[in-house]
Amino acid sequence: MYYFASDTHLGLSHGTDEIAREKLFVRWLDEVSVDAEAIFLLGDIFDFWFEYKRVVPKGFTRLLGKLSELSDRGIPIHFFAGNHDMWIRDYLATECGLILHTAPETMTLNGRRVLLAHGDNLYIQDLPMLRLMNWFFHNRWVRRSFATLLHPDCALRFGQWWSGKSRKSKALSIGFRGEEEFLVKYARMRLQQEPIDDFVFGHIHCATIYPLGEGIEAIFLGEWIEQPTYATLDAQGRFALHTYQPA
């Protein structure tokens, strides 16, 4: 069985208690590890993550310990950077054994050709301000200046403020918009370029499986702030969404 989750936003003081949310997510990881061929974490696992060469954010010890344990047991764990945790370096790979991805990836899983991505910077060609912001935050000189000019305490305090400000400026979740959803438009564009059987996205905080026709589906993973949701892909190549209820 393959497992997929995103948007836990650990460190965010909103909805459920952040420590309780971390414990719940760790419990889910522990339970699914029983039969997991691989686990995919599709972005915004942390509400803010900025990684210096020798400094990482305080906290998340339960999660990092569990990820290290599962990786040591031989379970592949794929971590896709989201817009809240884009500034990863190599810590999660070297210390926890995760497989890091900073761009969409297409993999064959149980006979299905699956495109996986967080989704934050896809299909934004008609949004110049978002394109500019995306360029700015991904620019290596901006990142280097941020790391060089600001003490870690100041940098992390600013990052957590910015992340919280971003979250307060919009609803936690919005209704799924069908064909108007920008990730649906992205999926249809990619289907014109190459054969893909399924898409798996995070980012929009909607949990739904949307049919694209001819047996192709777009799976949107939802969020863990108020409604913990994850997806599975079984041996027959069938995706399903689940609300997590601890055993």
Hey, where are the domains in the chain?
A: 2-243
* pLDDT for residue 169: 44
* Residues 51, 58: Cα–Cα separation, whole Å: 11
Please list the rounded mean pLDDT of every run of 10 residues in the chain (247 residues): 94 74 95 97 84 72 94 97 76 92 94 93 61 60 64 63 54 72 93 95 93 95 92 96 89
Tell me how many helices (H) and strands (E) the chain has. 7, 11
**Which is nearest to 6 in space by CA: 207, 174, 246, 237?**
207
200 to 61, 109, 192, 216: CA distances (angstroms): 28, 12, 17, 11
* pLDDT for residue 166: 55
Provide the CATH topology of domain 2-243.
Purple Acid Phosphatase; chain A, domain 2 (3.60.21)
* pLDDT for residue 137: 60
* pLDDT for residue 14: 63
Letter string b/e over residues 88-97, b meaning 16 or more CB atoms within 10 A of that residue's CB: bbebbeeebb
Q: What DSSP character marks residue 44?
A: -
- Our CA dihedral for 54, 56, 58, 60, rounded to 10 degrees, sits at -130
The backbone torsions φ and ψ at residue 50, rounded to the nearest 5 degrees and listed phi first, read -130, 125
Q: Kindly report the CA angle at 87 between 82 and 88, in degrees rounded to 5? A: 90
